[in-house]
A = this chain, B = another copy of it.
Amino acid sequence: MPPDQSAALVVLDLAGIFVFAISGALVAVRKDLDAFGVLVLAGTTGLGGGFLRDVLIGATPPAALADWRYLLVPVAAGLVGFVYHPVLGRIEQSITVLDAFGLALFCVAGSLKAVDYGLGPLPAALLGVVTGIGGGMIRDVLTGRIPVVLHGELYATPALAGGLVVVLGYEAGLPHVPVAALGFAVCLVWRLLAIWRHWSAPLPSGPASV
């Protein structure tokens, strides 16, 4: 990959981590955590999905532990969230839109990394989903909530679709950059439509047995 393209990818990756980490910091503030708690939530939300993926595919230590920029970004996001949470809370709808960019980026990057480590198409797409939703799930478990991705708006399905586009295009031998761009677009557009139209995954029908 040409250096310029690679540098662009790192910038995109760091931007995704930053947005995810901001969402973690905002949840931490709402749960009355202290400054350290805000930083931990920012870090685990921003980096947790990638950590889970890397541990599962055996890519240890995770990239974020080998490159200090990946650690400073969530720290910066945590500090921003700690100080500016009243402002950020008011523009949370905008953050949700930015978060969709992070999700699209992570599902593509996560799927590609899993393919590089020799996984088949279906597991690789699944690890793209893990990369995209893992950080938010850890955030919710640490703050005593059932992960919102399991019962809220449509979030993981677009990530799975994006990941599948990427790995199937990769398997088919298509050129990588356009395929990655298409997977990114599929996930992003679907997620933005879900936000706009309040789409959610179907619920089980009938009352649950006790």
Contact = CB atoms under 8 A, between A and B. Distances in A.
Interface of A: 26, 28-38, 40-41, 51, 55-58, 60-62, 65-66, 68, 71, 82-83, 85-86, 88-90, 92, 117-120, 122-123, 126-127, 137, 141-147, 149-152, 154-157, 200-204, 206-210
A49 to B, nearest CB: 14
B56 A51 contact: yes
Given A33-B146, A65-B126, A86-B207, 7 more contacts: A30-B208, A33-B151, A34-B200, A36-B150, A65-B123, A86-B209, A89-B209
A147 B41 CA distance: 11
Given A144-B145, A209-B90, A58 B61 contact: yes
Nearest to A127: B65
B66 A56 contact: no
Nearest to A150: B37
